[in-house]
């Protein structure tokens, strides 16, 4: 507590004294640019990792960055989503998971939590779609560590699907006035991977910007969620200009791989997929789009 109190004094003597115009402006109201939905984990600080200032992010934080589907809970998440979009006019939403997420570890062993942490158990049941998807599609193939990475990545997409059940979100997406993005933050390196709905994989956010610059076309205005499984969130190798070429998936897409410097293979722009992962992703995508 002493450290926090000292921090309050330092904040006033350094930041506030040098940002008086900003503080005065913020006292008149807020106009955040982004709704940032993330985990309560102390190792993830939204303003720090995005280097954003006071007043730029409207933040929702809870265990597991979970947004219950519309009408499924009476918590503050739904109210905060509605307020952010309707009252504050926010047009961009980021759902950000993170590596080593304790909530996702609990989700993978949900039945063991009911007696010791019943409130946590009840809360994580809002991520049942994530748990079932992982158990039925990945558990027999991947190690426990890989399963956690996949669960973290899949849960981000699950929460985006939950967001789309809210009438205000559904309406703004229909109008093309809302964008939703999925991120995963890596605690070890400070890196962030962003979900790419074109390749059904997680890629560096800079890659998506590079695609925009190279092709002169904007990324989809509306984040299109799919049921195609994401890859385990390991960091990819650097991309060169040829690898940044966009790939439009088709039902007849052929999965081809080539070796990279670290021995990993890549396919159709998703540069760190193993052949088995690539087959699982594209077979699953094609199977749901006959």
User: Per-residue pLDDT tens for 34-93?
Assistant: 999 999 999 999 999 999 999 999 999 999 999 999 988 777 999 999 999 999 999 999
Reduced to 3 states (helix: H, G, I; strand: E, B; else coil), residue 208 is helix
Q: According to the model, what pLDDT value does residue 75 have? A: 75
Q: According to the model, what pLDDT value does residue 208 have? A: 62
Where the chain has pLDDT below 50, the residues are 211-290
Question: Cβ neighbours of residue 242 under 8 Å, at least 6 residues apart?
Answer: none
Shortest CA distance to 248 belongs to which of 277, 280, 285, 222? Answer: 285
Q: According to the model, what pLDDT value does residue 209 have? A: 65
Contact 215, 264 (CB under 8 A): no
**Distance between CA atoms of residues 196 and 226, nearest Å:** 11
Q: According to the model, what pLDDT value does residue 106 have? A: 95
Shortest CA distance to 194 belongs to which of 233, 159, 168? Answer: 233
Contact 232, 150 (CB under 8 A): yes
Q: According to the model, what pLDDT value does residue 235 have? A: 32
pTM: 0.73
Shortest CA distance to 64 belongs to which of 96, 112, 109? Answer: 96
Which element (helix H / strand E) includes 16?
none
CATH superfamily, domain 31-190, is: Carbonic anhydrase (3.40.1050.10)
**Distance between CA atoms of residues 266 and 98, nearest Å:** 24
Q: Where are the domains of the chain?
A: 1-28, 31-190
Contact 244, 207 (CB under 8 A): yes
Sign of the C-alpha dihedral computed for residues 72, 197, 276 and 106 taken in this order:
negative
């Amino acid at each position: 507590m002493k450290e926090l109190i000292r921090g309050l004094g330092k904040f006033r003597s350094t930041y506030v004294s040098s940002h008086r115009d900003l503080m005065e402006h913020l006292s008149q109201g807020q106009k955040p640019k982004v709704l940032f939905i993330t985990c309560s984990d102390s190792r993830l600080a939204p303003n720090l990792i995005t280097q954003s200032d006071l007043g730029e992010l409207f933040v929702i934080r809870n265990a597991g960055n979970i947004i219950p589907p519309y009408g499924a809970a009476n918590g503050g998440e739904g109210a905060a989503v509605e307020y952010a979009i309707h009252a504050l006019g926010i047009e961009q939403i980021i759902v950000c998971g993170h590596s080593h997420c304790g909530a996702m570890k609990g989700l993978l062993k949900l039945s063991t939590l009911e007696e010791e942490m019943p409130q946590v158990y009840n809360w994580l049941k809002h991520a049942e779609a994530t748990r079932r998807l992982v158990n039925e599609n990945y558990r027999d193939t991947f190690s426990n560590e890989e399963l956690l990475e996949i669960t973290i990545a899949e849960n981000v997409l699950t929460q985006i699907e939950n967001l789309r059940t809210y009438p205000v979100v559904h309406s703004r997406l229909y109008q093309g006035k809302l964008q939703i993005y999925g991120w995963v933050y890596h605690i070890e390196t400070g890196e962030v991977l962003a979900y790419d709905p074109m390749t059904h994989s997680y890629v560096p956010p800079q890659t998506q910007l590079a695609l925009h610059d190279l092709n002169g076309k904007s990324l989809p205005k509306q984040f299109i969620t799919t049921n195609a499984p994401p890859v385990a969130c390991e960091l990819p190798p650097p991309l060169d200009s040829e690898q940044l070429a966009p790939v439009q998936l088709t039902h007849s897409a052929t999965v081809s791989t080539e070796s990279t410097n670290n021995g990993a293979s890549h396919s159709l722009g998703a540069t760190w997929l193993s052949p088995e992962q690539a087959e699982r992703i594209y077979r699953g995508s094609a199977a749901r789009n006959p």
